[in-house]
Chains A and B, each alone.
Chain A
Amino acid sequence: MNSLLEIKDLHVSYNGINALRGISLHVEEGEIVTIIGANGAGKSTLLNTISGLVHPKSGEIKYKGELISKKPHKIVSKGIIQVPEGRQVFANLTTLGNLGIGAFLRKDKDAIAEDMEYVFSVFPRLKERASQMAGSLSGGEQQMLAIGRGLMSKPKVMLLDEPSLGLAPMLVNDIFSVIRKVNNEGKGTTILLVEQNARKALAVANRAYVLETGEIIREGAGINLLNDPSVQEAYLGVKPTNLQ
């Protein structure tokens, strides 16, 4: 049986510097899989390679048993959408415009309108800012918009790159419940999540990989890694603070 997403021995380098060194992983349909790792471990590189922005030196990426295309827009049309790191909203479009672009490839007008309402219900702030230029939104508002825009494409697989970046604590919680909701207990969207908030990420994930300098050094069920002392020390902070 094929995995939904299967990566084999992936090597990526930037001008000779190896960012990924033989990564293999798989994501099954309906799973939430998370990848944790320090700055510069290669997490974003991995997501960018899957969505076709970066081309691997060697190795293969298969979606539903087929090699993925080299063109990002073709990959999107297969149902894989990325919410890129650092927001990257279209500053010259309004909030609504950005959400519209999220649904660029969709034709089902009514369903789009419904999803728009859903996004607004998750992030009421966006509704208030609906006709503001996205470039002048606050950092957190832009992050909500980036996630909302990703949701608008109604993807089969969603690649989330640090979705909680710059969000207020209350919203961080919300984001993870949104992730759960979208995943809908495995019946909805499959999620590959890169997060610095490793504690929360591991808590929602079915499975997780630990990435270190371009290599996978651990993998396992989210819960197991969460309780693993070595992971705790390296990625969760030595002393847990009272608020987290």
Chain B
Amino acid sequence: MSEEKAKLKMISDIDAEAHIRRAIEAILMVAIDPVPPSIFAQLFEVQVDEIERICNSMVDHYTEAELGFSLIRIAGGYRFQSNPEQAQWVERFILEGQSRRLTAAAMETLAIVAYKQPISRAQVSAIRGVDVEGVMRNLQQRGLIDEVSRDTGPGNAVLYGTTQEFLERMGIDSVAGLPPLGEFVPGPEVVEALERSLRVVADEVTIPATEEG
């Protein structure tokens, strides 16, 4: 009887562990930086050493599986990364397979950081209207932007700025050497659209004719 109970408990433990493993796999797959076990411990409400035990067994498991990537412990956390044996392919992919030009999104993000530095990622997101995490990460990896300070406000957000390398590439001494933004003069289509948005509250019926008719 008690043996059966113990067995049941074990099964449910295994079950719980399998759940945690899958959640850890999911998080590690999308995490940008190595994830410290303490974060998992907090998330799953489990002891840190229990997390470490699970993660270490996962490390072994991925090593044995002989995939093109592995799970490793690095910089106080865990992360998936490509296997050193595959380095030549990764290198060739970087040199041949990736686009050599900045995408429009990356260009806008870089420009915002350049002109508005120091600036937090959230602020850049707010300006661009989209999440910029991946793009900022890319720019940082390319050495064009970097963390420069922390916001003194609540949350102490990381603030980003452009790097020395960026200045050199642009051929300028400092960001003051960037062409001035000048006063923003919105194009006629923007004016028109803004105007339209005001019409709702306008009492008067004096509305200019629009092309759309």
Q: Please determine whether chains A and B interact with each other in the same assembly.
A: no
